[in-house]
Amino acid sequence: MSNKVLVLGEAREGALRNVSYEAIAAAKQISDGGEVVSVLLGDSVGELAAELGKYGADRVITVEHPHLKQYTSDGFGQALLAVIDQENPEVIVFGHTALGKDLSPKIASKLQIGLISDVTSIEGEGDAAVFIRPIYSGKAFEKVKVKDGIKFITIRPNNIAPLAKDDSKSADVSSLSVDITNLRTIIKEVVRKSSEGVDLSEAKVVIAGGRGVKSEEGFGPLKELADVLGGAVGASRGACDADYCDYSLQIGQTGKVVTPDLYIAAGISGAIQHLAGMSNSKIIVAINKDPEANIFKVADYGIVGDLFEVVPMLTEEFKKLKVNA
């Protein structure tokens, strides 16, 4: 039986996040030919709608309201519940982002349904779909299904490939007006700390530095390498605790979880709490002067050496590769 799927599109500073497209791809797999409807919430999101069609959404519903300018669980919750009420979807897909993590349990609780969080892959199609998610900080996986009722999942960014963009496709766009009232939370201020440029949790390449980087300036060569590869810079808690960088860069159990195609760990020992945030990366490279460092156990490729020698050499070598390509 085909399923109608509702997908939450997520914008950040005026642009759609990749995970919005990944969620459409996930939706297609579960829809079994059913309609995929993207939802966009905000104070002015209309012009983003067309892009979702190019990535496979059949329809886009926008809810615009001044109270949706900033995310609050009350505001977005009311808007989304109104859309769900109108559309009666069989499946709902969110990104497992800060917003998705905060909002999804509220919706699930309101609808008295199950919710499978942080899905990294989907097996099977349509009603037979089962969901795979990491447990025990990525040391094990569980395969979960919904017993009955609405299937509600959140997907981890960077794990489910989006569909190829097709400029010839377009989605029907409609808007729904919802009365957003009684917000119990008032956002006073947002202090942006995350670096401009590539979003760490969605980056295809992450260059991470640890205590071995030794200083704030020590992150310079890592940043250069990241720039050459179009990647983002990350860090271990060791480096954050030592004040070499901001906590917004921390990767691991208590930081961000990343799954890039390429993760380069420089001067990171590979503590279990760090591995929790990156061990599912596709390819892991370790650069460490200690051949016994734990990070080599999870690395696909390793260089034993001084990062201050190796990283600049790598940058030069990648530059040559880019020139020749």
Ligand X SMILES: Cc1cc2nc3c(=O)[nH]c(=O)nc-3n(C[C@H](O)[C@H](O)[C@H](O)COP(=O)(O)OP(=O)(O)OC[C@H]3O[C@@H](n4cnc5c(N)ncnc54)[C@H](O)[C@@H]3O)c2cc1C
Q: Binding residues for ligand X, per CB under 6 A?
A: 142, 210-212, 236-239, 250-255, 267-269, 271, 273-274, 277, 287-290, 293, 306-308
Q: Please answer whether residues 53 and 26 qualify as being in contact, where contact means their C-beta atoms are separated by less than 8 angstroms.
A: no
CB of 181 to another protein, least distance (A): 14
Tokens 């996986």 — which residue? 141
Closest to ligand X by CB, 42 vs 255, is 255
> Residues with Cβ < 8 Å from 325, sequence gap 6 or more?
none
**Given 248, 289, 294, 308, the residue binding another protein (CB under 8 A):** 248
Here the tokens at position 90 are 């069989």
Taking each helix axis as running N to C, give the angle between helix 98-111 and helix 73-87, from 0 to 180 degrees, rounded to the nearest 10.
50
User: Are β-strands 121-123 and 130-135 bridged in parallel, bridged antiparallel, or unpaired?
Assistant: antiparallel
For the chain, first and last CA: distance in Å? 47
Q: Please answer whether residues 167 and 181 qualify as being in contact, where contact means their C-beta atoms are separated by less than 8 angstroms.
A: no
Q: Please answer whether residues 229 and 205 qualify as being in contact, where contact means their C-beta atoms are separated by less than 8 angstroms.
A: yes
| 29 is a contact residue toward another protein (CB under 8 A) | no
183-222 positions binding another protein, by CB under 8 A: 184-194, 200-201, 204-205
**Given 86, 109, 174, 215, the residue binding another protein (CB under 8 A):** 109
CB of 209 to another protein, least distance (A): 16
CA distance 152 to 223: 38
CB of 290 to ligand X, least distance (A): 4
Closest to another protein by CB, 48 vs 310, is 310
φ, ψ (nearest 5 deg) of residue 245: -160, 170
Here the tokens at position 211 are 């205590």
By a kind-dependent CB cut-off of 5 to 8 A, residue 73 interacts, out of another protein, ligand X, none, with another protein
| 149 is a contact residue toward another protein (CB under 8 A) | yes
Q: Give kind and range of the element (H or E) at residue 264.
A: strand 262-266
**Given 82, 121, 242, 247, the residue binding another protein (CB under 8 A):** 247
CB of 311 to ligand X, least distance (A): 9
| 161 is a contact residue toward another protein (CB under 8 A) | no
Q: Cα-Cα-Cα-Cα dihedral of 107, 77, 45, 65, to 10°? A: 160
| 114 is a contact residue toward another protein (CB under 8 A) | yes
CA distance 282 to 262: 6
Residue type, 101: K
CA distance 26 to 94: 10
Closest to ligand X by CB, 223 vs 289, is 289
Q: Please answer whether residues 75 and 177 qualify as being in contact, where contact means their C-beta atoms are separated by less than 8 angstroms.
A: no
CB of 78 to another protein, least distance (A): 13
By a kind-dependent CB cut-off of 5 to 8 A, residue 200 interacts, out of ligand X, another protein, none, with another protein
62-81 positions binding another protein, by CB under 8 A: 73-74
CB of 190 to another protein, least distance (A): 5
| 126 is a contact residue toward another protein (CB under 8 A) | no
Closest to another protein by CB, 137 vs 170, is 137
CB of 258 to another protein, least distance (A): 11
36-65 positions binding another protein, by CB under 8 A: none
CB of 191 to ligand X, least distance (A): 21
CA 52 to chain centre: 17
CA distance 125 to 93: 15
Closest to ligand X by CB, 85 vs 142, is 142
**Given 31, 38, 62, 117, the residue binding another protein (CB under 8 A):** 117
